[in-house]
């Protein structure tokens, strides 16, 4: 899988939050959201971006027949609502707190000012947006055209790039990730029972073992090969 699947390997909250920049500390404030509280809705005015200090947020939209499509799930250190930076006028998605969350909210004007004053910062913003778009486009394409098992394997490839490392002692690939099975099922457009069956099938084939926040791929497995 191409490396562009993964986002910049940094805490984006620390990178973008204005307390890092002289002259912008007064614009640094936090909004608290409760679990299941909407942060914004589809068609809301798009003039802010959001930096997650703590908590987890789901981004998605509803189809004409009322089905929910989950585009992404973000956690501590992540950014969402970034399309406002490149001229989006109204939201085409919703953002919902999956847990209690503390979020720093910035106006587009603040981000544009920071980009004009700092070329390195501006380059990182453009790189982040480009990688985010590629990741979401690929995930939605897989969601539409692949079966559930293939969607799971593609998602595990993504996780291996973002959260995986090789264990020197065993030779296994270890993936320590932040997602619950409910999160994964939502992102893959399937049910938790189906997802659990797929994991059990891969486990019975001696391909992997899985725990609450850890997935172990046994050495010499080619299932995650590009």
* Closest among 180, 142, 123 to 5, alpha carbons compared: 142
What are 57-97's pLDDT values in tens digits? Answer: 999 998 888 888 888 888 888 889 989 988 889 999 999 99
7 pLDDT more than 80: no
Task: Check residue 112 and give its pLDDT.
Answer: 87
Higher model confidence: residue 141 or residue 209?
A: 209
Provide the pairing of β-strand 79-80 with 164-166. unpaired
d(CA 168, CA 117): 44
Q: Per the structure block, which two tokens stand in for 100? A: 């209690």
Element (H, E) at 69: strand 68-74
Burial degree of 175 (CB within 10 A; 0-12, 13-18, 19+): buried
Average the pLDDT over 159-167 and give the result.
87
The answer to whether the beta carbons of residues 197 and 39 sit under 8 Å apart is: no
What would the two tokens of residue 113 be?
């000012």
For the chain, the helix, strand and coil percentages under 3-state DSSP, each to the nearest 5? 40, 25, 35
192-197: average pLDDT: 95
* Least confident residue range of 10-24, 27-41, 88-102: 10-24
Domains in the chain (CATH in brackets) are 10-144 (2.60.120.10), 147-217 (1.10.10.10)
Report in angstroms the alpha-carbon separations of 143 from 19, 139, 140.
38, 6, 5
More confident residue, 131 or 97: 97
pTM above 0.85?
A: no
- Phi/psi-derived region of residue 66, left when phi > 0, alpha when psi is between -120 and 50, beta in every other case: left
Q: Which of 15-19, 35-39, 48-52, 163-167 has the highest mean pLDDT?
A: 35-39
Altogether, the residues listed in the chain come to a count of: 226
- DSSP for 130-181? HHHHHHHHHHHHHHHHS-HHHHHHHHHHHHHHHHEEE-TTT--EEEE----H
């Amino acid at each position: 899988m191409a490396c562009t699947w993964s986002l910049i390997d940094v805490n984006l909250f620390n990178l973008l939050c204005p307390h890092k920049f002289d002259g912008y500390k007064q614009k640094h404030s936090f909004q608290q959201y409760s679990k299941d509280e909407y942060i914004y809705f589809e068609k809301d005015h798009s003039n802010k971006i959001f930096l997650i200090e703590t908590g987890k947020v789901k981004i998605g939209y509803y189809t004409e027949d009322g089905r929910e499509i989950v585009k992404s799930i973000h956690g501590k250190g992540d950014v969402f609502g970034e399309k406002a930076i490149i001229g989006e006028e109204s939201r085409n998605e919703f953002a919902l707190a999956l847990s209690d969350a503390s979020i720093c909210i910035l106006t587009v004007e603040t981000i544009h000012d920071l980009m004009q004053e700092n070329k390195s910062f501006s380059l990182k913003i453009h790189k982040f947006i480009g990688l985010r778009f590629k990741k979401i486009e690929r995930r939605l394409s897989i969601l539409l055209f692949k079966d559930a098992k293939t969607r799971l394997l593609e998602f595990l490839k993504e996780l291996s790039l973002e959260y995986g490392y090789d264990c020197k002692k065993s030779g296994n690939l270890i993936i320590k990730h932040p997602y619950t099975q409910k999160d994964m099922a939502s992102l893959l457009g399937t049910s938790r029972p189906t997802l659990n069956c797929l994991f059990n099938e891969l486990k019975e084939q001696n391909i992997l073992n899985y725990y609450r926040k850890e997935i172990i791929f046994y050495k010499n497995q080619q299932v995650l090969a590009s």
